[in-house]
Amino acid sequence: SQQGEEDPQALSIQEGENATMNCSYKTSINNLQWYRQNSGRGLVHLILIRSNEREKHSGRLRVTLDTSKKSSSLLITASRAADTASYFCATDLNTGGFKTIFGAGTRLFVKA
């Protein structure tokens, strides 16, 4: 079963625009991570936000976490054609183990 659900499922924007993807999850977490996957490749880690953090930045990426709403958002500013990929949120479940469960992903297409 999937822990996280991304919204939207697909997003198409023009180069230079911002892209926002949302993730909702169901159970208590230790942290939430965002990954990127280019076609035919493995997932690449982008950013991790811990359960006691509310916002984190990395370059053109901004991630927020609202544990009261069990939701997170990933903002990519000034998007580029090279940002075209699928983006996944993943949660480390707070069960004493280190199970990392992925959502269904958002497919982002950035038009040049």
Partner 1 sequence: DAGVIQSPRHEVTEMGQEVTLRCKPISGHDYLFWYRQTMMRGLELLIYFNNNVPIDDSGMPEDRFSAKMPNASFSTLKIQPSEPRDSAVYFCASSTRGRGGSPLHFGNGTRLTVT
Which amino acid, 7? D
**Torsion sign over Cα 15, 17, 23, 29:** positive
Q: How far apart are CA 40 and CA 25, in angstroms?
A: 26
Residue 77 binds partner 1 (CB under 8 A): no
Part in contact with partner 1 (CB under 8 A); list of ranges 11-19, 32-40, 59-67, 68-76: 32-40
For residues 44 and 78, which CB has a smaller minimum distance to partner 1 in the complex? 44
Of 23, 74, 105, 108, which lies in the binding site for partner 1, with binding defined by CB under 8 A? 105
Of 31, 67, 73, 77, which lies in the binding site for partner 1, with binding defined by CB under 8 A? 31
